[in-house]
Amino acid sequence: MKVYPFVLHINCKTFSFQNKVSRTATAKPSAQPVSTCSFDSLSPEELLVFDSLKDVIFWPETPSLKSDSSLNDTSDPRRSSFTILPRSGGGSWRVGDQLQVSIRIRDFHGRPKKSGGDVLLARLHNSTFHAGVAGHVVDHRNGSYSAFFSLLWEGQVVLVHPSEAVTVLQKLTEEQPDRIYFNSLFWSGSVSETTTCNVCLTGTQQNICDYSDLRTGEPWFCYKPHKLDCDARISHARGGFRQNLNGTERRFKYPEINIQTQIRKKLKTSHNRKTFKTRPSGYYYKGAWQALDGTRVHQFNSNAISQCLKGKAVLFYGDSTVRQWYEYLTNSLPDLKEFDLQTSKQSGPLMALDYVNKILVTFRSHGPPIRFASSSVSQLQYVANELDRVIGGSNTVVVIGVWSHFSTFPVEVYVRRLLNIRKAVARLLNRAPGTTVVVRTANPKEMTLYESLTNSDWFSLQRDKILREIFRGTKVQLVDAWEMILAHHLPHKLHPDSDILKNMVDVLLSFACPLADIQL
Mean pLDDT of 357-386: 95
The dihedral region occupied by 130, where left means phi > 0, alpha psi between -120 and 50, and beta the remainder, is left
Is 265 inside a domain boundary?
A: no
- 195 and 337 co-located in one domain: no
* Span of 54-58, 122-126, 349-353 with lowest mean pLDDT: 122-126
Residues 342 and 232 in one domain: no
Same domain, 397 and 478: yes
Please write the tens of the pLDDT for every residue from 491-511.
999 999 999 999 999 999 999
In a domain, 282, yes or no: no
- Boundary of a domain, candidates 196, 226, 241: 241
Contact status, residue 174 vs residue 20, Cβ threshold 8 Å: no
CB atoms within 10 A of CB 105: 29
Domain-embedded: residue 36: no
For 226-264, write each residue's pLDDT tens digit: 999 999 999 999 998 876 655 544 544 444 434 334 455
Residue 92 belongs to a domain: no
260-269 mean pLDDT? 46
Answer yes or no: is pLDDT of 161 > 70: no
Give residue 174's pLDDT band: very low, low, confident or very high (50, 70, 90): low
Q: Mean pLDDT in the chain?
A: 81
Q: pLDDT value at position 419? A: 96
Q: Is residue 80 part of a domain?
A: no
Cβ atoms of residues 29 and 209 within 8 Å:
yes
Judge if 326 and 237 occupy the same domain.
Answer: no
Identify which has the larger pLDDT, 510 or 106.
510
Same domain, 237 and 327: no
Q: What is the mean pLDDT of residues 55-65?
A: 76
In a domain, 49, yes or no: no
Mean pLDDT across the stretch 254-277?
46
Farthest-apart Cα atoms in the chain, separation: 82
Greater confidence (68 vs 154) lies with 68
What predicted TM-score, i.e. pTM, was given to this entire model? 0.85
Tell whether the model's pLDDT for residue 24 goes beyond 60. no
Instruction: Name the band, by pLDDT with cuts 50, 70 and 90, for residue 58.
Output: confident
Q: pLDDT tens across 382-419, in order?
A: 999 999 999 999 999 999 999 999 988 888 999 999 99
pLDDT in tens, 414-464: 999 999 999 999 999 999 999 999 999 999 988 776 666 677 787 888 899
Please report whether residue 153 resides in a domain: no
Residues 304, 215 share a domain: no
> Quick count: other Cβ atoms within 10 Å of Cβ 353?
17
Kindly tell me if the per-residue pLDDT of 304 is higher than 50: yes
- 209 closest CA partner among 413, 34, 20: 34
Same domain, 336 and 216: no
* Residue 8 predicted with pLDDT over 90: no
pLDDT reported for residue 66: 63
The domain in which residue 196 lies consists of: 180-241
The CATH number for 414's domain is: 3.40.50.1110
- The verdict on 203 and 315 lying in the same domain is no
Q: Which residue, 219, 241, 263, sits at the end of a domain?
A: 241
Residues 340 and 462 in one domain: yes
Together in a domain, 346 and 434: yes
pLDDT of residue 3: 37
Q: Please check whether residue 327 is in contact with residue 337, taking contact to mean a CB–CB distance below 8 angstroms.
A: no
Determine, yes or no, domain membership for 173: no
Average pLDDT over every residue of 36-63: 77
CA dist 209 and 225 (Å) reads 9
CA distances from 406 to 61, 189, 398, 460 (A): 23, 35, 21, 9
- pLDDT score at 102: 86
Residue 276's pLDDT band, with cuts at 50, 70 and 90, is low
* Whether 6 contacts 144, CB under 8 Å: no
**Has residue 364 got a pLDDT over 50?**
yes
Q: Is the pLDDT of residue 7 over 70?
A: no
pLDDT at 37 over 60: yes
Q: Distance between CA 345 and CA 340 in Å, rounded?
A: 10
Q: Which of 241, 267, 285 is the last residue of a domain?
A: 241
Whether 357 and 231 map to the same domain: the answer is no
Greater pLDDT, 181 or 200:
181
Q: Are residues 323 and 389 in the same domain?
A: yes
Give the residue among 451, 444, 447, 427 at the shortest CA–CA distance from 500.
444
For residue 433, what are the contacts with CB-CB under 8 A and spacing of at least 6? Answer: none
Mean pLDDT score, 79-94: 77
Say how many domains are in the chain: 2
